[in-house]
Amino acid sequence: MNLGTRKLLDRSFTALGIGSIVIMGIMLLVVLVPIVSNGIGAIVFKGTIEHRKLLYTEFQRGDKASLGRELAESDASRKKVYEIMAAFESELKGMDEEKQADYQAKYNEVRTALKALLGPLPGEEMPELTRFRYGQTRWDKAKEKLHELLYEKKWDYSNPDAEAKEYFVSRAQGFEGSSLVKLFPYVEEHIDQLMLPEWTFYWGFITDSSLDSHIFGGIWPEIQGTLFLAIGAMLFAFPLGVVAAVYFTEYAREGFITSLLRSANSTLAGVPSIVFGLFGLAFFINTLKVSESKSVIAGSLTLAIMILPTIIRSAEEAILSVPKTYREASLSLGSTKWNTIATVILPAALPGILTGGVISLGRAAGETAPIIFTAAVSVGSAIGLADVFSSPTPALSWNIYNLASEHEAANEIRHVQYGMVLSLVTIVLLLNLSAIILRARISKKLKG
Amino acid sequence: MNGEGSATTGRSSAFVVSARKRKIQTITRTAGESTLLMIAAFVAIIVLFIFYFVARDAIPFFQIRGFSEFFTSSEWYPADDPPKFGALAIIYGSLMVTVGSAIIAIPMGVSAAICLSDVLPFSVRQYVKPVIEMLAAIPSVAFGFFALVILAPLLQNHGGQILMWTWWLIATPFLLLVVVVAAELLTTSVRDEKRRMLFRRILVVLFGLLALMMLFFVGRNLQKIEILTGTNALNVSIILSFMALPTIVSVSEDALQAVGRDLREGSYALGATRAETIVKTILPAASSGILAAVILGVMRALGETMVVWMASGNSSHVPDPWYNYLESVRTLTATIAGDMGEADQVTGSARFHVLFAMGLLLLIVSFISNYISERIIVRQRKVLSGQ
């Protein structure tokens, strides 16, 4: 091969490597950007009057006087809507039967759509479920519901080869000639007065409990559950891991037992996370009976086992990276071996050990599979510290799965799901970021 | 217990400490060290416990149903009466997404590791490493959410376009390179300089046309593909590959770094380019370490639960044809996670124990591959340090 081609091959080889690194960076952005941008939408959004009403009735927050003013304003414009409907209903009674049945079916759809937008109609009994007691609390959702009120979705099956296409028909056409036809342009023009949207910073998303399985409210029980589980796991795993690391680095002599213990450690690191869940169920709950059924303590123990190898490995590395001179200086001053470890080596290795601990904490917070069978429930309120031994808890990771895949209104509460993912990712990445910073400071210090 | 420790202490305090006190010291030291050993042995005990307790609940399944159905039938109807526990399709699904993610992750991971260890200067590497660490830190359920809510609809609605553009982006530079190199290699035997250049140009044009045609036709056929469901094996493979990448990159980078400078410098001194040095000298020397990295990375993909549970579609059948990545699959991990909710109430039934049998299968596979990769790493370290 001539030199030109060899150089070309060399360049493309480099390009391949840089390309894959760039793709990894892009992937990170592609995953994080929608999560962050949509997740913020769970906290900062245009809230409607229904949102403020909900906050006041369910959480006793907000100013009563200004809420009353706003309610009066929106009620005044809503009154017209209900008047049109009442007029149409009386008109409907006077029609002949066939026409009446036809109108009634369409009118029921309009009523349902209007109820979804504005909440229960006046004179109606208060519904049992919280989700039906209020209209749309978010302006973006309200606009969707407005579209549903104005247009009927239909499917076009005319082309048998392709998939059916959706198209929209104006509902107003169906009521041509009746008094209800006024309703649609009125709602469309006055939607601002009906809903009174305004920018809201809903910090309650972090601190509130959820209402009616996450249709409204916040995610505090999940955040608290995640913190309980992760911190509980650390309480078990961190001391154990550090002591084991001290043994491996300071006391263990190379031999059969040590290499066996080391390979046990790497085996544990390679066990699939779902198997930890099975083990936690079979051992902690069914055999040891640490609790009747799922509980925070069982979940924490399972997570502790999962993160133990990481903690041991990072603590070992941290201890080994302490310069030999420290140890020799301490021993030459006449201190005992244990004394040297406790007062010289461990303090010097502490930042490194903490780095590993922080990363493991993040892993324990983000992991789902081990807690499915041992600790997580989908709906629940925040539990007290005393309940960790007996009761299960909702957790962010599990509820992201649950809301996205199993919730009956998964498409309606995308903002809650994004908010949860953002909270979880923020917790985990902040922990990792602090580990990275910690490590950078250590390496600076070691360099002198 | 510890010779070195007791010797130092003994010597330094021999004339202040009485024999009795020294005896007490020795006893406490022995006791302390045995406690440490016990704590260190805790991990080994846990590993034994995991094997024991998973196997304890897995064996009843084989006692009730035997082995042959589980491994040979692909009929998975655990809730029917009589129930059917054929896990072949599920095992195949696990295999499929693992292989799929390996196909994406191995070339990317190894080339990224090479780039990190041999190409990029230290100042750039500093910024690349946190990116890889962050990729590793993102919780699996967040990846699963991304796969389900963003990637799946994208694949379903614009699948053909995405496949076509991916093909063009990857294949265009690759084919161009192949054309140039092939033209060069085929004309080296021609002695006359002028004729050789002429031949080469003709070949480049000829091959170039062929490559263009191939690009165009494959691209058009890919564009025609309609993906019926976005939650399929391809979606999961893509996401899993990015979850396996950090492991592959960091472990293979360690292996590449372990090769040392002298081999590299020797190769450069002989006039090799960087690519030639890496491909012909360093990769062979680091091959076993890279193999270990690949095994570890691929095992992460096999053991991953949330992504496959959320985004694989969970339909238990062998795709038709067998390599069709655009169909939904179901994996071992997702089956364990998804079926436990219903099987839990009937503890003791085959339906409960079959999930543990799957767990045992995963555990054994992960144990074996972990053991192999560890052996490889140890052996490579010995070989490299023994040179």
- Asked if the model's pLDDT at residue B3 lies above 50, the reply is no
pLDDT tens readout for residues B94-118 = 999 999 999 999 999 999 999 999 8
Determine the distance in angstroms separating the CA of B138 from the nearest CA of chain A, rounded to an integer: 6
Of A21, A32, A401, the CB nearest to B310: A401
Q: What letter would DSSP give residue A59? A: H
A-facing residues of B in 3-62 (CB < 8 A) are 4-5, 8-9, 12-13, 29, 32-33, 36-37, 39-44, 46-47, 49-50, 53-54, 56-57
pLDDT given at position A149 = 87
Residues of A in contact with B275 (CB under 8 A): 9-10, 13-14
pLDDT given at position B8 = 45
- Asked if the model's pLDDT at residue B224 lies above 50, the reply is yes
What's the rounded mean pLDDT across residues B286-312? 91
Of B181, B279, B336, the CB nearest to A274: B336
- Asked if the model's pLDDT at residue A411 lies above 60, the reply is yes
Whether chain A has a CB inside 8 Å of the CB on B306: the answer is: yes
Residue of A nearest to B178 (CA): A9
Residue B203 identity (one-letter amino acid): L
Q: Given an 8 Å threshold on Cβ–Cβ distance, is A9 in contact with B181?
A: yes
User: Token pair for residue B10?
Assistant: 């003994």
- Of A370-374, A439-443, B297-301, give the lowest mean pLDDT range: A439-443
- Asked if the model's pLDDT at residue B386 lies above 70, the reply is no
Q: Given an 8 Å threshold on Cβ–Cβ distance, is B108 in contact with A10?
A: no
Confidence of residue B5 (pLDDT cuts 50, 70, 90): very low
Q: Given an 8 Å threshold on Cβ–Cβ distance, is B53 in contact with A367?
A: no
Tell me the C-alpha distance between A40 and A42, whole Å.
5
Residue B262 identity (one-letter amino acid): D
What's the rounded mean pLDDT across residues A76-87? 88
Q: Given an 8 Å threshold on Cβ–Cβ distance, is B39 in contact with A338?
A: no
- Asked if the model's pLDDT at residue B13 lies above 60, the reply is no
pLDDT given at position A312 = 94
Confidence of residue B50 (pLDDT cuts 50, 70, 90): very high
Determine the distance in angstroms separating the CA of A314 from the nearest CA of chain B, rounded to an integer: 15
Residues of B in contact with A166 (CB under 8 A): none
- Asked if the model's pLDDT at residue B261 lies above 90, the reply is no
Domains contained in chain B, CATH given: 3-65 (no CATH), 88-155+229-385 (1.10.3720.10)
Determine the distance in angstroms separating the CA of A392 from the nearest CA of chain B, rounded to an integer: 15
A-facing residues of B in 111-170 (CB < 8 A) are 111-112, 114-116, 119-120, 128, 130-135, 137-146, 148-150
pLDDT tens readout for residues A354-368 = 999 999 999 999 999
pLDDT given at position B4 = 43
Residue that has been written with the tokens 């809510």 in this structure: B149
User: What DSSP letter does each residue of B318-366 carry, written as one string?
Assistant: --SSTT-TTS-B--HHHHHHHHHHHHGGGTTSHHHHHHHHHHHHHHHHH
Q: What letter would DSSP give residue A384? A: P
pLDDT tens readout for residues A285-299 = 988 888 888 899 999
What's the rounded mean pLDDT across residues B68-72? 88
Determine the distance in angstroms separating the CA of B323 from the nearest CA of chain A, rounded to an integer: 25
Q: Given an 8 Å threshold on Cβ–Cβ distance, is A25 in contact with B177?
A: no
Top mean pLDDT of A117-126, A129-138, A300-309, B374-383 is at: A300-309
Nearest to residue A331, comparing CAs of B366, B141, B2?
B2
pLDDT given at position A104 = 85
Residue of B nearest to A337 (CA): B5
Residue of A nearest to B238 (CA): A27
What are the structural domain ranges in chain A? Answer: 45-202, 220-447
Mutation target to probe the B interface, by most B beta carbons within 10 A, among A6, A16, A431 is: A16
Residues of B in contact with A275 (CB under 8 A): 50, 54, 303, 359, 362-363, 366
- Of A130-139, B149-158, B239-248, give the lowest mean pLDDT range: A130-139
Of B49, B133, B347, the CB nearest to A432: B133
pLDDT given at position B347 = 59
pLDDT tens readout for residues A174-219 = 787 778 888 888 888 888 888 889 999 998 899 988 888 888 888 9
- pLDDT: is A155 or A418 the higher one? A418
Q: Given an 8 Å threshold on Cβ–Cβ distance, is A20 in contact with B108?
A: yes
E strand or H helix that includes residue A133: none
What's the rounded mean pLDDT across residues B8-36? 74
pLDDT given at position A99 = 79
Residues of B in contact with A397 (CB under 8 A): 139, 141, 306
The per-residue pLDDT of chain B, averaged, comes to: 87
The β-bridge partners of A138 are A47
Mutation target to probe the B interface, by most B beta carbons within 10 A, among A9, A159, A279, A327 is: A279
pLDDT given at position B304 = 92
pLDDT given at position B206 = 92
Of A20, A369, A436, the CB nearest to B305: A369
- Asked if the model's pLDDT at residue B10 lies above 60, the reply is no
- Asked if the model's pLDDT at residue B179 lies above 70, the reply is yes
E strand or H helix that includes residue B314: none
A-facing residues of B in 230-249 (CB < 8 A) are 242, 245
Confidence of residue B387 (pLDDT cuts 50, 70, 90): low
| Span A220-447 CATH architecture | Orthogonal Bundle (1.10)
pLDDT given at position B375 = 87
Residue that has been written with the tokens 């023009």 in this structure: A189
Residue percentage of chain B with pLDDT more than 90: 44
pLDDT given at position B239 = 95
pLDDT given at position B7 = 44
Mutation target to probe the B interface, by most B beta carbons within 10 A, among A229, A274, A337, A438 is: A274
Confidence of residue A448 (pLDDT cuts 50, 70, 90): low
Of B36, B344, B363, the CB nearest to A275: B363
3-state class (DSSP) for residue A210: strand
What's the rounded mean pLDDT across residues B239-250? 94
Whether chain A has a CB inside 8 Å of the CB on B333: the answer is: yes
Interchain CB contacts (distance < 8 Å): A and B = 273
Of B139, B188, B302, the CB nearest to A397: B139
Mutation target to probe the A interface, by most A beta carbons within 10 A, among B38, B50, B57, B166 is: B50
Q: Can you list the pairs that A20-27 forms with residues at least 24 positions away whose Cβ atoms lie under 8 Å? A: A20/B107, A20/B108, A20/B109, A20/B111, A20/B112, A20/B115, A21/B112, A21/B115, A21/B116, A21/B128, A21/B131, A23/B108, A24/B108, A24/B112, A24/B131, A24/B132, A24/B135, A24/B242, A24/B245, A25/B128, A25/B131, A27/B135, A27/B242
Determine the distance in angstroms separating the CA of B204 from the nearest CA of chain A, rounded to an integer: 13
What's the rounded mean pLDDT across residues B354-376? 92
pLDDT given at position B17 = 65
Confidence of residue A251 (pLDDT cuts 50, 70, 90): confident
Of A10, A417, A436, the CB nearest to B130: A436
- Asked if the model's pLDDT at residue B6 lies above 80, the reply is no
CA end-to-end span of chain B: 35
